[in-house]
Amino acid sequence: MSTRRLEQNPGPESGTRRHAALTVSAFQDAIRHHARYSLGNKWERCSSRELFMAVAFAVRDALIDRMLDTEDRYQQADPKRLHYLSMEFLLGQSLRNNLSNLGMLEPCRQALRTMGVDLDDVLESESEAALGNGGLGRLAACFLDSLATMGMPGYGYGINYEYGLFKQAIDSGYQREKPDNWMAHGNPWQIERPDEACIVPVYGRVEHGIDRAGGYNPMWMDWKIIIGVPHDMPIVGYGGNTVNVLRLYSARSSEEFDMQIFNEGDYLKAVEQQIASETISKVLYPADSIEAGRELRLLQEYLLVACALRDIVRRYSKSHEDFDQFPAKVAIQLNDTHPALAVAELMRMLIDEYAQPWEIAWEMTQATLSYTNHTLMPEALEKWPISLLEAVLPRHLQIIYEINRRFLAQVASMWPRDHERLRRMSLIEEGEQKQVRMVNLALVGSHAVNGVSTLHTQLVRTSLAPDFAQLWPDKFSTKTNGVTPRRWLLQANPLLADLITNTIGDGWITDLGKLRALEPYTQDADFRQAFMAMKRVNKVRLARLIYDVSRVVVSPDALFDVHVKRIHEYKRQLLNVMQIVHQYLCMIQDGQEPPVPRVYIFAGKAAPGYWTAKQIIKLVTSVGQVINNDPRVKGLIKVVFLPDYRVSLAEQIVPAADVNQQISMAGTEASGTGSMKFAMNGAIIVGTYDGANVEIMQEVGEENIFLFGLQVEAVRQMRERGSYHPRDYYHRNPHIRRLMDAFGSNLFCPNQPGLFRWINEQVLDHGDPYLHLADLESYIDTQGRVAQTFQDREGWVCKAILNVARTGQFSSDRAIAEYAKEIWNIQPVL
Amino acid sequence: MQLDQRKAGDALIVTPLEDRLDARVATDFKERMIELIASGNTIIVLDLSKVEFIDSSGLGAIVSSLKRMGGRGELVVCGLRETTMTLFKLTRMDRVFQVFDSEQQAVSALSGNKG
């Protein structure tokens, strides 16, 4: 095996141009200093948690120096800045990432070692910032890493949820939710900035007044005030040269207590009022689709938008006297429709607070805002009842009506008398309960709209917004998602990272396309051996974790077949279970042993109110219980469910996977960034022709991925023609009949008869909207081919290596470069 | 609430000596303003330089005072701090009231108007 080191990345271990990395002794001094003066303790007496805090404070000092320097650099260059508005930032733990990107991982490890402390123990003590549900929030976190790594002036704006996504426990096979009070022990990364708090008015009414010149003057009166207090998290790029800021807002009441109520002796009522305001940033909604009419969610979204825009305008105004340069200096990206209120809020600010004429304000708003769509699922497309908007944001509703009036006049002039088109394109949905369509508001108010994979963008154009695509064909583009190789390869899989760096140099860390240089090494027996050894070590580690949390013994020599993501019907965890049950029945009833031992690994959270998703978890655990304990299976099939899926768990699962399942019904998954992480770590995808799978196939080669099932057009036709009859599959295919009957029997629920009868009812009797049985036959065939292919370990490892080598396209650096060039028009400031 | 008032030429300078003009004092403030208007003051400069925060009740009280003047005379404001100015703009009250940086500017502009 080659151990060349072809090139040196300009960053880490040697420090940056402006800042030297901390030496081991300086690190020790800093840790001792913070243990004593920030925590009031001697380091020798510190708990793991306190040591984590002391180390984090030491790292934070370095981050702050670089953050201030970065801001100086930006101020000097006055570049166009990008502002990424997202209701979710799924950051996970930060210490390892910050140390690694600063090039301080090894000095820190050594410093702690000489103090008798293991860095890994310290790293484990960090609470995770689980401020997101899944892909959308994790994408936002990857994008921040890429922006900083590439030296781009990019700021994140979000909500500082006191409670992140719930913690999941499994109790008797069922999901139980526990609150995630992630900041209970303090958060060393955040810098609170009360002096930059924003005033956010809500509720009230519009008084139709007259100004001094006798003109119409709509006055927003009788509002209540919420205060948005910013908390800055430094985001360091690889190499440490650029430290951008993620600004998260907490809601506070406008005063500590209402003193009048307090003086009247009603202390509790005074406190209650304060608590009511602070409730707004209390909790992250644990679902990607929010039940319409949730006032608290609307308040959260407005808190984000109002605070972010006020902050953006404040920063712009510091160095500009008028708004002439605003779109040339400010880009604002809406991460899905959740921040779409930005359209109305920016218009309101420009018109009401800065006295801009409507036409100018509209031009600036459109030129500044751009919108990423993340889903086509109807339940996730936000609509707010007019009555609610009128109560919470009366002036915004008035502005939305006016935007709509002008927009529909434009549409009517192009398509006269096409009333149906006007009805479809209107920002207002008529009906029993009139609603504002936030997607349409975002489409109209943005100069650019993008989907997150080629296929998804095509569906946005053709099925979500065909009228808008016809009106503005150039507004729509694809920006396929990506993931940061720093977290998902360099940090999550240090063994593979070292193997790659020792083979082709470390240029891949900031230019993932360089992984292509690994391709020839499929012919290098030493490299293949080292690759297999790396995978096995990772699998041993995961096997140990599986045993620790579930007491199931699995062999690291088995095929690790992984299905981890939020639990949702469209993602079709049920399809996977059907295939497992089929395999099980083949073994115990037909005597057919699988060609290789296989461990099916599931993880994921179900939205607390989503009955079917929670039942799927119970199904997986129950099927696992039966199969894992059936001696006839001889340990050849294992099924495990790892509780509390989160970023840090993903970091342990991804490097150990042989196969990744991405099997959503075609046309439902917008992108599926999970697949990118797995492929990057040498797992092979079993997937449908959905989301980014298609592009991954184009990159890695169709012989190095297992795609199966109906494609989007076939799904569409089947649904439109009503030609999917699940019972036909049931009657025609004895294997399908047998496994469906197994769910109907009590095979997997001997102590709770009828527990899984819902599967038969939903699939066979209620139409099965996600077409499980239509794809099941080809899925079973594909999974069989996977097992056969895995028997040839040398052939398999070549495929795995080629997956790693050909994932350069799926770096978030590539995605950010595309956004920067084609939408934001921003440049690095180095 | 504490309200300082003094004459500068024809103008009555009214200065609320409160850091918060909010629901707690708005009713009292409004009544005091209406008394001043009823007693014949037609040129009033409302100096808000001591007010650090004003809520919608406070703003409502100022609007009510203007309405009470019934189009006769002038009610202008001056000395707005950043937060108060933000809230004035947010409600578009800056389009209803003349806003001056300082008491002197307000008085001089009003004398100019008169001349």
Q: pLDDT tens-digit profile of A118-167? A: 999 999 999 999 999 999 999 999 999 999 999 999 999 999 999 999 99
Domain span holding position A397: 78-93+128-176+189-481+816-824
Structure tokens at A629: 């304990």
Instruction: Give the pLDDT band of residue A22 (cuts 50, 70, 90).
Output: confident
Is residue A114 in some structural domain? no
Q: Residue A600 is part of a domain; what is its CATH number?
A: 3.40.50.2000
Residue A289 forms part of a structural domain: yes
In a domain? residue A111: no
Tell me which chain A residues have a C-beta less than 8 angstroms from the C-beta of B59: 221
The pLDDT assigned to A386 comes to 96
- Annotated catalytic, A737? no
How many domains are contained in chain A?
A: 2
| Nearby residues of A329 by Cβ (< 8 Å), 6 or more positions away | A78, A79, A80, A81, A316, A320
Q: Are residues A498 and A411 in the same domain?
A: no
Instruction: Assess whether A442 and A563 both reside in one domain.
Output: no
> pLDDT tens-digit profile of B43-57?
999 999 999 989 999
Residues A472 and A507 in one domain: no
In terms of domains, do A209 and A302 share one?
yes
* Residue contacts between A and B (CB atoms, under 8 Å): 58
Q: Are residues A301 and A386 in the same domain?
A: yes
Contact B95 A211 (CB under 8 A): yes
Domains (range + CATH), chain B: 3-100 (3.30.750.24)
For residue A560, name the pLDDT band (cuts at 50, 70, 90).
very high
A480-484, A606-610, A620-624, B67-71: the lowest-pLDDT one: B67-71
CB A560 within 8 A of CB A659: yes
Chain A residues in contact with B98 by the CB 8 A cut-off are 212
Counting every residue, how long is chain B? Answer: 115
What distance in Å separates residue B5's CA from the closest CA in chain A?
25
pLDDT at residue A4 greater than cutoff 50? no
Q: Are residues A467 and A552 in the same domain?
A: no
Catalytic, A486? Answer no
Residue type, A70: T
Amino acid of residue A138: R
Instruction: Specify whether A505 is located in the same domain as A444.
Output: no
CB atoms within 10 A of CB B89: 18
Cβ-based neighbours of A795, under 8 Å, separated by 6 or more: A789
Terminal-residue alpha carbon distance, chain A: 37
Looking only at the bridges linking them, the beta strands covering A598-603 and A706-708 are unpaired
Contact B90 A220 (CB under 8 A): yes
Per cent of chain A over pLDDT 70 is: 94
| Other residues' Cβ atoms within 10 Å of the Cβ of residue B39 | 8
Instruction: Name the residue among A509, A648, A647 with its Cα closest to residue A123.
Output: A648
Alpha-carbon distance A81 to A70, whole Å? 13
The residue of chain A nearest to residue B24, with distances taken between CA atoms, is A260
Q: What is the pLDDT of residue A3?
A: 39
pLDDT tier at A262, thresholds 50, 70, 90: low
CB-based burial, A628-640: b 16+ in 10 Å, e otherwise? beeeebeebbbbb
Q: CA–CA separation, A661 vs A675, rounded Å?
A: 8
User: Crossing angle, helix A358-368 and helix A394-414, to 10 degrees?
Assistant: 90
DSSP A128: P
pLDDT tens for each residue of chain B, 115 residues long: 899 999 998 999 999 999 999 988 999 999 999 999 999 999 999 999 999 989 999 999 999 999 999 888 899 999 999 989 999 999 999 999 999 999 999 999 888 654 3
Specify whether A614 is catalytic.
no
A chain contacts of residue B67, beta-carbon cutoff 8 Å: none
Q: Are residues A429 and A509 in the same domain?
A: no
The answer to whether the CB atoms of B56 and A352 lie below 8 A apart is no
> What are the residues of chain B with a beta carbon less than 8 Å away from any beta carbon of chain A?
20, 23-24, 53, 55-56, 59-60, 63, 83, 86-87, 89-93, 95-96, 98
Query: Domain check: are A277 and A335 in the same one?
Result: yes
Task: Give, as one character, the DSSP assignment of residue A225.
Answer: E
Q: What pLDDT score does B1 carry? A: 85
Dump the DSSP string for A295-346. Answer: HHHHHHHHHHHHHHHHHHHHHHHHH-SSSTTHHHHEEEEEESSTTTTHHHHH
Which two structure tokens, joined as six digits, stand for B71?
């189009």
- pLDDT for A553 equals 98
Identity at A794, one-letter amino acid code: E
Please report the pLDDT score of residue A598 as a whole number. 98
The answer on A489 and A477 residing in a single domain is no
Question: Does residue A682 fall inside a structural domain?
Answer: yes
Determine, yes or no, domain membership for A197. yes
Residue A385 sits in the same domain as residue A512: no
Question: Is A513 found in the same domain as A464?
Answer: no
Residue A263 has pLDDT above 80, yes or no: no
Nearest CA in chain B to A223: B56
pLDDT at A672 over 80: yes
Report the phi/psi class of residue A176: left, alpha or beta, with left for phi > 0 and alpha for psi in -120 to 50: beta
CB atoms < 10 A from the CB of A236, how many? 27
Residue in A387, A365, A371 with CA at minimum distance from that of residue A439: A371
> Residue A242: inside a domain, yes or no?
yes
Q: Which of A457, A478, A673, A789 is catalytic?
A: A673
Inside any domain, residue A134: yes
pLDDT at A255 over 70: no
Among all residues of chain A, which has the CA nearest to that of B98?
Answer: A212
In A199-218, the residues whose Cβ lies within 8 Å of chain B are 199, 201, 204, 207, 209-212, 217-218
pLDDT tens readout for residues A473-519: 999 999 999 999 999 999 999 999 999 999 999 999 999 999 999 99
Cα of A56 to nearest chain B Cα, Å: 35
Q: Does A352 touch chain B (CB under 8 A)?
A: yes
Backbone conformation region of residue A202, classed left if phi is above 0, alpha if psi is from -120 to 50, else beta: beta
Q: Is residue A648 packed enough to be buried (19+ CB in 10 Å), middle (13-18) or exposed (0-12)? A: middle
A720 assigned to some structural domain: yes
DSSP A487-552: IIIIIT-HHHHHHHHHHH-SGGGT-GGGGGGGGGGGG-HHHHHHHHHHHHHHHHHHHHHHHHHH--
Q: In what order do the strands lie in the sheet with A435-437?
A: A383-385, A435-437, A428-429
- pLDDT, position A261: 55
Q: Which of A677, A772, A799, A806 is catalytic?
A: A677
Write out the two tokens for A111: 């410093």
Q: Do B91 and A254 touch (CB under 8 A)?
A: no
Of B14, B13, B12, B11, nearest in space to B3 by CA:
B14
Q: What pLDDT, on the 0 to 100 scale, is given for residue A247?
A: 98
CA distance A211 to chain B (A): 5
> Looking at the partner chain, which of A199, A258, A259 has a beta carbon nearest the beta carbon of B83?
A199
Which one, of A827, A826, A823, A819, lies nearest residue A447 by Cα? A823
C-beta neighbour count of A686 within 10 angstroms? 26
Q: Is A434 a catalytic residue?
A: no
C-alpha span between A83 and A86 (Å, rounded):
10
